[in-house]
């Protein structure tokens, strides 16, 4: 049962149906070709026989003309005297008395066009008494003498028979090979599609790590597998990100919330008459709530950028405007901290994007650079236009402590902060947002060593304009 | 000021009404879109606070109808829908400002005050003055007590915004939205640095300060009492 079912399923597959259709066309073509071969071969042999008979007739005619009836009788006798001859002769008087020849009587068969007749030799005790057919032509000589010259067709019949048999075999083998080949082809394609089905089933069952195997040939199925895998990578990354976020949100928000709660509870327990104490507690509570809200807002911005729903709302954005505005906003902040912010706009590229999110990304990068660069440092905000593999690039470089190479992937994750003590302000969402914004714009985020310091580049793809 | 609050959440509505009354405003409240539309059409209000998601009729279409019937009372949308798209939709429907829940009450008060002020001073101005501080929009010059003050373009824009809303509280978010067109909150309080610089130029060399910090809310530019 188990072996039958897959076969039955195979018969219902599209590749097999296509193979079957192809086979049908192929078999019809082969049939037509074989028919033509048969007709032309058999026809050619029949013509050959006709020509031989005509030659013999011509010879006998010569004989009759030169030696009269007597000579003709001798000649026919002589010729039909050979044993194992394929030729058939019969010469009779007007009354039907046999004068010479190797047939026992005049065939009944009526002559066709041109005097040709076909008959069975065995019925007339012909040559070698073979049960084969013959083909003959008959003439009426002067004086109502009748002459029949023909040829045993058994060899041709045999050949025809053999040809039919072998053509039948050729036909059968064609069908079998075609069917087998079709099944094999269908099975090959089915195996790969089945592999895709198995993987998707496994993934639906919850195992997101499964990937579709690739043949490496680069055909449609391979490309389909490649696309599926890319889609799965994306889904897995989003799922992992979501799990991480849920965990991080739970963890990172619990601490400030418990702090908040404890502070309010303590204020209630103390029961003081001093309204200043309550005022201070409430003010701290609002500050803490604002920080929590800011974290939520940042998470929402990331979600907004990541959902891709914004993709339809993308419109041409002049990056130079975005960069100038951010530089304008942050220059005094950098100066306040004793840093130099250098803005270098080398081109005026336009990309399709969401201006607010891009502005937020650049702001976050500047914010980070200002936060982590020590006094006296130098921050460069650079905008470049078209270059190899890019339509535009925004770079923020500082000469602060930088990020160790092995940590650069890690800092893009939500709530991850290198400052283990969490002494510096912030929620660890800044770079995550930048990455989400970059991805929304199909841009890549590059974290590089500025030797010393960190260099973050948002590189827009060549077709981002 | 007479304020109409259209908000279906009872708790939020009474919190709004209480806060607005304490700030000295007269408040009417409607619990759904239909009632809100009726009140807005039958009485005169200085400003309306409209929730986006309402039973009966949603806030967007309510404001669209009001605008279509020639009612130009300033409208502030107060909504939990806070993405850039949502804000754009609200402003396109005829809203004058958009505030996202959860919000700080001081922010709401500052915004409605500025809304009303903007409506009353709609005629084009070329010159703004507060006490002895003058700002000329045509020559783009600033003078205080007759003394010329050099400002960078963005400082000029910031001062212009503060002067247009002189006497009112202007929050950091309002400045980011109106001067920089930033509809998100940068992580650092960048506005404070800009105000500090502006103060250096406007107030430092003069006996009476004009830029005042309003604790927990923002800043206010006003003439000394």
- CATH of residue A330's domain is 3.30.565.10
A3, part of any domain: no
Domains in chain A: how many in total? Answer: 4
For residues B85 and B93, the answer to whether their CB atoms sit within 8 Å is no
Closest C-alpha among B101, B163, B104 to residue B131: B163
pLDDT at position B150 is: 94
Q: Cα separation of B109 and B170, whole Å?
A: 10
Q: Which residue of B has its CA nearest to A304?
A: B83
Q: Cα separation of A197 and B55, whole Å?
A: 47
CA distance B119 to chain A (A): 27
Whether residue B53 has pLDDT greater than 50: yes
Written as one string, the DSSP assignment of A356-390 is HHHHHHHHHHHHHHHHHSPTT-EEEEEEE-SBTTB
Most B CBs within 10 Å, among A332, A357, A364, A371, to test the B interface = A332
Whether residue B141 has pLDDT greater than 90: yes
A7, part of any domain: no
A231 shares its domain with A337: no
CA distance A355 to chain B (A): 9
Q: Cα separation of B108 and B171, whole Å?
A: 10
Q: Cα separation of A189 and A14, whole Å?
A: 10
Which residues in A138-173 are b (16+ Cβ under 10 Å) and which e? beeeeeebbbbbbbbbbebeeebeebeeebeeeeee
Mean pLDDT over B125-147 rounds to 92
Q: Give residues 200 to 229 of A whose Cβ lies within 8 Å of B.
A: none
**Which residues, including other chains, have CB under 8 Å from residue A325's CB and lie 6 or more apart?**
A359, B180, B181, B182
Closest C-alpha among B23, B29, B22 to residue B3: B29
Q: Give residues 426 to 465 of A whose Cβ lies within 8 Å of B.
A: 426, 430
Chain B residues touching residue A300 (CB < 8 angstroms): 82-83
- Token pair for B102: 């959860």
Helices (H), A82-153: none
Whether residue B84 has pLDDT greater than 80: no
Q: Which structural domains are found in chain B, ordered by start?
A: 2-121 (3.40.50.2300), 127-221 (1.10.10.10)
Chain B residues touching residue A322 (CB < 8 angstroms): none
CA distance A463 to chain B (A): 25
A262, A291, A307 — which closes off a domain?
A: A307
Chain B residues touching residue A314 (CB < 8 angstroms): none
Closest to B187 (Cβ–Cβ): which among A300, A304, A426? A426
Q: Which residues of chain A have pLDDT under 50?
A: 1, 421
Run of H or E residues at A117: strand A116-120
A9, part of any domain: no
A282 shares its domain with A360: no
A102 shares its domain with A229: no
Q: Is A314 on the interface with B (CB under 8 A)?
A: no
Q: Is A132 on the interface with B (CB under 8 A)?
A: no
Q: Is B84 on the interface with A (CB under 8 A)?
A: yes
Closest to B180 (Cβ–Cβ): which among A283, A329, A430? A329
For residues B44 and B116, the answer to whether their CB atoms sit within 8 Å is no
CA distance A330 to chain B (A): 7
Q: Give residues 288 to 307 of A whose Cβ lies within 8 Å of B.
A: 290, 293-294, 297, 300-301, 304
Cα–Cα distances in angstroms (integers) from residue A319 to residues A354, A393, B17, in the given order: 11, 9, 44
- Adjacent-strand bridge partners of B77: B50, B98
Q: Is A332 on the interface with B (CB under 8 A)?
A: yes
Q: Are B197 and A329 a contacting pair at CB < 8 A?
A: no
A23 shares its domain with A152: yes
Q: Cα separation of A90 and A151, whole Å?
A: 12
pLDDT in tens, A315-342: 899 999 999 999 999 999 999 999 999 9
A277 shares its domain with A156: no
Closest to A332 (Cβ–Cβ): which among B184, B185, B194? B194
Chain B residues touching residue A280 (CB < 8 angstroms): none
- Token pair for A412: 């893009």
A99 shares its domain with A240: no
Q: Are A294 and B193 a contacting pair at CB < 8 A?
A: no
Q: Are A359 and B197 a contacting pair at CB < 8 A?
A: no
Run of H or E residues at A47: helix A14-81
Q: Are B183 and A310 a contacting pair at CB < 8 A?
A: no
Whether residue B126 has pLDDT greater than 60: yes
A241 shares its domain with A275: no
Q: Cα separation of A465 and A446, whole Å?
A: 20
Q: Are A363 and B216 a contacting pair at CB < 8 A?
A: no
Portion of chain B with pLDDT greater than 90, in percent: 67
pLDDT at position A126 is: 59
Which CATH number goes with the domain that contains A65? 3.30.450
Q: Is B182 on the interface with A (CB under 8 A)?
A: yes
> What angle separates helix A154-204 from helix A14-81, to the nearest 10 degrees?
170
A102, A128, A160 — which closes off a domain?
A: A160
Q: Are A356 and B193 a contacting pair at CB < 8 A?
A: no
A400 shares its domain with A323: yes
Task: Compute how many other C-beta atoms are within 10 angstroms of the C-beta atom of residue A312.
Answer: 7
ipTM over 0.85: yes
A51 shares its domain with A132: yes
For residues A318 and B146, the answer to whether their CB atoms sit within 8 Å is no
A319 shares its domain with A393: yes
Q: Cα separation of A245 and B83, whole Å?
A: 20
A169, part of any domain: no
Is the torsion defined by CA of A229, A235, A238, A242 positive or negative? negative
Written as one string, the DSSP assignment of chain B is -EEEEE-S-HHHHHHHHHHHHHTT-EEEEESSHHHHHHHHHHS--SEEEEESS-SSS-HHHHHHHHHHTT----EEEEES--SHHHHHHHHHTT-SEEEESS--HHHHHHHHHHHHHHHHT-S--SEEEETTEEEETTTTEEEETTEEE---HHHHHHHHHHHHTTTSEEEHHHHIIIII---S--SS-HHHHHHHHHHHHHTTTSSS--EEEETTTEEEE----
Q: In which residue are the tokens 């929304």 written? A: A440
For residues B193 and A331, the answer to whether their CB atoms sit within 8 Å is no
A328, part of any domain: yes
Most B CBs within 10 Å, among A321, A336, A356, to test the B interface = A356
Is the torsion defined by CA of B30, B35, B36, B42 positive or negative? negative
CA distance A9 to chain B (A): 50
Most A CBs within 10 Å, among B103, B172, B178, B186, to test the A interface = B186
Chain A residues touching residue B183 (CB < 8 angstroms): 356
Most A CBs within 10 Å, among B80, B104, B176, B188, to test the A interface = B188
Q: Which residue of B has its CA nearest to A336?
A: B193
State the Cα angle at A412 between A408 and A418, rounded to 5°.
65
A300 shares its domain with A316: no
pLDDT at position A421 is: 47
A177, part of any domain: no
pLDDT band at B145 (very low <50, low <70, confident <90, very high): very high
Instruction: Report how many Cβ contacts below 8 Å link chain A to chain B.
Output: 65
CA distance A332 to chain B (A): 6
Q: Cα separation of B166 and B224, whole Å?
A: 12
Q: Are A325 and B181 a contacting pair at CB < 8 A?
A: yes
pLDDT band at B110 (very low <50, low <70, confident <90, very high): very high
Q: Is B216 on the interface with A (CB under 8 A)?
A: yes
A155 shares its domain with A233: no
Mean pLDDT of chain B: 90
For residues A54 and A168, the answer to whether their CB atoms sit within 8 Å is no
Q: Are A367 and B182 a contacting pair at CB < 8 A?
A: no
Domain extent at residue A318? 312-464
Closest to A332 (Cβ–Cβ): which among B182, B187, B197? B197
Q: Are A356 and B183 a contacting pair at CB < 8 A?
A: yes
Closest C-alpha among A395, A361, A412, A393 to residue A459: A393
């Amino acid at each position: 049962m188990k072996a039958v079912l897959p076969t039955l399923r195979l018969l219902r597959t599209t590749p097999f149906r296509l193979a079957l259709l192809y086979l049908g066309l192929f078999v019809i073509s082969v049939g037509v070709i074989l028919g033509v071969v048969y007709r032309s071969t058999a026809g050619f042999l029949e013509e050959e026989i006709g020509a031989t008979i005509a030659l013999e007739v011509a010879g006998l005619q010569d004989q009759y003309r030169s030696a009269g009836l007597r000579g003709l009788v001798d000649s026919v006798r002589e010729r039909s005297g050979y044993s194992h001859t394929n030729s058939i002769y019969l010469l009779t008087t007007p009354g039907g008395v046999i004068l010479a020849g190797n047939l026992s009587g005049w065939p009944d068969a009526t002559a066709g066009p041109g005097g040709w007749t076909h008959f069975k030799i065995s019925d007339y005790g012909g040559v070698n008494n073979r049960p084969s057919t013959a083909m003959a032509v008959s003439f009426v000589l002067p004086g109502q003498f009748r002459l029949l010259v023909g040829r045993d067709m058994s060899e041709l019949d045999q050949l025809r028979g053999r040809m039919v048999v072998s053509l039948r075999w050729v036909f059968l083998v064609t069908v079998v090979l075609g069917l087998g080949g079709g099944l094999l082809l269908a099975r090959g394609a089915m195996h790969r599609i089945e592999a895709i089905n198995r993987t998707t089933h496994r993934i639906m069952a919850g195992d997101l790590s499964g990937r579709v195997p690739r043949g490496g040939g680069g055909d449609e199925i391979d490309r389909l597998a490649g696309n599926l895998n890319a889609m799965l990578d994306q889904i897995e990354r989003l799922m992992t990100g979501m799990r991480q976020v849920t965990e991080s949100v739970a963890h990172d928000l619990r601490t400030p919330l418990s702090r908040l709660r404890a502070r309010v509870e303590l204020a209630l327990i103390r029961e003081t008459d001093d309204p200043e104490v309550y005022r201070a507690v409430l003010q701290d509570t609002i500050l803490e709530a604002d920080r929590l809200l800011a974290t939520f807002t940042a998470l929402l911005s990331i979600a907004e950028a990541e959902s891709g729903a914004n993709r339809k709302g993308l419109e041409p954005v002049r990056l130079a405007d975005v960069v100038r505005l951010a530089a304008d906003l942050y220059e005094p902040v950098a100066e306040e901290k004793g840093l130099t912010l250098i803005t270098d706009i080398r081109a005026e590229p336009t990309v399709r994007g969401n201006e607010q999110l891009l502005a937020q990304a650049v702001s976050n990068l500047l914010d980070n650079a200002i936060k982590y660069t020590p006094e006296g440092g130098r921050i460069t905000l650079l905008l470049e236009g078209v270059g190899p593999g890019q339509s535009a690039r925004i770079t923020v470089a500082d000469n602060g402590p930088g990020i160790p190479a092995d940590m650069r992937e890690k800092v893009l994750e939500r709530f991850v902060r290198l400052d283990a003590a969490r002494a510096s302000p912030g929620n660890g969402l800044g770079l995550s947002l930048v990455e989400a914004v970059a991805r929304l714009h199909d841009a890549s985020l590059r974290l590089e060593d500025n030797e010393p310091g960190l260099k973050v580049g948002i590189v827009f793809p060549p077709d981002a304009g | 000021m007479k304020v109409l609050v259209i908000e279906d959440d009872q708790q939020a509505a009474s919190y709004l009404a209480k806060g607005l009354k304490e700030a000295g405003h007269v408040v009417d409240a409607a619990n759904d879109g239909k009632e809100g539309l009726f009140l807005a059409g039958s009485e005169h209000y200085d400003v309306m606070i409209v929730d986006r998601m309402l039973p009966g009729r949603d806030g967007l279409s309510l404001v669209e109808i009001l605008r279509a019937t020639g009612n130009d009372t300033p409208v502030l949308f107060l909504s939990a829908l806070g993405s850039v798209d949502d804000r754009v939709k609200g402003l396109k429907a005829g809203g004058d400002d958009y505030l996202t829940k959860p919000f700080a009450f001081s922010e709401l008060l500052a915004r409605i005050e500025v809304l009303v002020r903007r409506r009353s001073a709609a005629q084009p101005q070329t010159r703004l003055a507060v006490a002895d501080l003058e700002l000329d929009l045509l020559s783009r010059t600033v003078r205080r007590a007759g003394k010329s003050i050099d400002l960078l373009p963005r400082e000029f824009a910031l001062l212009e915004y503060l002067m247009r809303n002189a006497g009112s509280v202007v929050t950091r978010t309002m400045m980011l939205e109106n001067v920089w067109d930033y509809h998100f909150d940068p992580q650092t309080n960048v506005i404070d640095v800009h105000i500090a610089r502006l103060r250096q130029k406007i107030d430092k060399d003069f006996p009476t300060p004009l830029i005042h910090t309003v604790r927990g809310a923002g800043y206010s530019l006003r003439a000394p009492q």
